[in-house]
């Protein structure tokens, strides 16, 4: 029996899912009704214990790997097939919300509960994962569990990461009892789906229920320093100035212009600015600022990189001021596997949900998992596009819709080999 054969597709229990989200959100609940459940704290342990207890109640078995990633498994008819997995994370920002990450994990639990309710067996096993320390608030690097899993960095590197009190990831993982035996990356994955709030304003602005995520923007981060000469604002005539801010602002204006020339997925942001000496009546002698360029493919991202470099060289020549540009981070664009994207789209259409193609501007565990296995994501709108904030909010009907899409995309994929 396949769910997509029936006229009326089966649906998840939205109320149950909502209730689980609210239950998990109590652990680390803040005064402003957000959640503070930092990775590998006692609260994280409580969250992990609660979620795995729900998985066990749903008949799932638990595997934990050495970086504390947790895989909750529902057997398949052909249990030797690699599992069709979904997941996300349950750690939060210090002033985080109830939905970021938690939604993807609990939607997975709800998928299993729904399959149980309907007595549906899938060919491949179904697994729900939560990845350790996605947020990176307490320990860097961010997306630590999925990063170790896909080999972006080593287990040892992750183990050595310290919080501000000097406690290491390894100590804290051991302390909360979540160091498993499995070697990270050795866990088979047939395909991976991640349901997530959009964390951006696009779906809400377009009034769509589902975002069919095509990929995740890659990024290049730079530090830029313009060096001029500080001097008193009064006695120094315009022609004799070496005003670092006046040169820096030209570059700051070019950054979004470059993004605007590479639509629809170009992004250009200057988020950090520091000027010296930063005094009302002194011409700035030095300006440091960040540049953040993003796009969905390397071709466009490389072109943006070339454009900012050329602009800076030209600006330095014209102004006579030295300008230093240093790339400090590069994250490769990720395009999700066609089959996974199509599975999400097909499931969306099954319910006639209003939908649109989407890209993610933020990183997700799915980006790392995509390096090892076919992967895809389902986005639902969040209020005002706000995330990483205690006021983060999502509508119950969208929560339900995204979970229905996840259910049918996974089931289709799990039965594809049959």
Binding site for a copy of itself (CB under 8 A): 198-202, 205, 217, 219, 221, 231-238, 240-241, 243, 245-246, 249-250, 252-253, 256, 259-260, 263-275, 278-284, 290, 292, 294, 360-363, 385, 387-388
| Adjacent-strand bridge partners of 226 | 287, 323
For a copy of itself, which is the closer residue by CB, 14 or 141? Answer: 141
Closer residue to a copy of itself (CB): 19 or 232: 232
- C-alpha 140, offset from chain centre: 15
Least CB distance to a copy of itself at residue 347 (A): 23
- CB 316, min distance to a copy of itself, A: 17
Q: What span, in angstroms and rounded, lies between the C-alpha atoms of 387 and 177?
A: 30
Q: Please list, residue by residue across 147-166, b when 16 or more beta carbons sit within 10 angstroms of its beta carbon and e when fewer do.
A: bbbbebeebeebbebebeee
Q: State in angstroms the smallest separation of the CB of 274 from a copy of itself.
A: 8
Q: Residue 143 region, left (φ>0) first, then alpha (ψ -120 to 50), else beta?
A: left
Least distance between a copy of itself and beta carbon 303 (Å): 16
Residue (207 or 281) nearer to a copy of itself, CB: 281
**Closest alpha carbon to 209 in 225, 218, 198, 193:** 198
CB-wise, 272 or 330, nearer to a copy of itself? 272
Query: Which CB atom, from 127 or from 198, has the smaller least distance to a copy of itself?
Result: 198
CB of 101 to a copy of itself, least distance (A): 15
> What is the DSSP secondary structure assignment for residue 82, as one 8-state letter?
P
Smallest gap from Cβ 319 to a copy of itself, in A, equals 12
* C-beta of 277 vs 322, nearer to a copy of itself: 277
Rounded distance between C-alpha atoms, residue 124 and residue 188, angstroms: 12
Nearest residue to 381 via CA among 122, 118, 106, 197: 197
What whole-number distance in Å separates Cα of residue 326 and Cα of residue 322?
Answer: 13
Cβ-count burial of 16 within 10 angstroms (0-12 exposed, 13-18 middle, 19+ buried)?
middle
Prior bond of 362 cis (ω within 30°): no
Q: Which is nearer to a copy of itself, 97 or 374 (CB)?
A: 97
Shortest spacing between CB 297 and a copy of itself, in angstroms? 15
């Amino acid at each position: 029996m396949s769910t997509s054969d029936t006229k009326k597709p089966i649906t998840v229990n939205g109320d149950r899912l909502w209730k689980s989200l609210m239950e998990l959100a109590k652990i680390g609940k803040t005064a402003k009704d957000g959640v503070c459940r930092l990775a590998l704290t006692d609260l994280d342990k409580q969250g992990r214990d609660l979620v795995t207890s729900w998985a066990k109640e749903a008949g799932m078995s638990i595997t934990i790997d050495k970086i504390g990633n947790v895989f909750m498994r529902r057997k398949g008819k052909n249990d030797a097939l690699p599992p069709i997995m979904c997941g996300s994370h349950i750690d939060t920002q210090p002033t985080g919300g109830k939905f970021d990450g938690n939604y993807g994990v609990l939607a997975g639990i709800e998928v299993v509960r729904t399959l149980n309710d309907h007595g549906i067996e899938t060919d491949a096993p179904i697994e729900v994962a939560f990845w350790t320390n996605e947020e990176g608030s307490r320990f860097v690097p961010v997306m630590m569990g999925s990063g170790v899993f896909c080999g972006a960095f080593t287990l040892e590197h992750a183990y050595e990461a310290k919080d501000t009190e000097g406690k290491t990831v390894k100590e804290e993982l051991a302390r909360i009892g979540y160091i498993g035996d499995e070697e990270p990356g050795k866990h088979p994955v047939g395909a991976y789906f991640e349901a997530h709030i959009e964390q951006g304003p696009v779906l809400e602005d377009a009034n769509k229920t589902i975002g069919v995520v095509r990929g995740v923007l890659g990024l290049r981060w730079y530090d830029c320093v313009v060096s001029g000469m500080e001097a008193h604002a009064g006695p120094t005539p315009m022609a004799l100035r070496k005003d670092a801010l006046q040169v820096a602002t030209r570059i700051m204006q070019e950054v979004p212009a470059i993004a605007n020339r590479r639509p629809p997925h170009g992004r250009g942001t200057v988020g950090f600015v520091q000027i010296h000496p930063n005094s009302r009546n002194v011409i700035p002698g030095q300006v440091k600022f960040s540049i953040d360029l993003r796009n969905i493919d390397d071709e466009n991202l490389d072109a943006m990189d070339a454009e900012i470099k050329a602009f800076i060289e030209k600006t330095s020549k014209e102004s006579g001021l030295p300008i230093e540009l240093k790339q400090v981070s590069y994250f490769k664009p990720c395009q999700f596997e066609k089959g996974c994207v199509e599975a999400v789209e097909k499931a969306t259409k099954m319910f006639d949900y209003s939908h649109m193609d989407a890209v993610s501007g933020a990183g997700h565990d799915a980006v790392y998992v995509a390096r090892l296995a076919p992967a895809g994501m389902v986005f639902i709108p969040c209020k005002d596009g706000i995330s990483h904030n205690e006021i983060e909010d999502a509508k119950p009907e969208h929560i339900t819709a995204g979970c229905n899409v996840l259910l049918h995309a996974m089931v289709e994929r799990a039965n594809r080999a049959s």
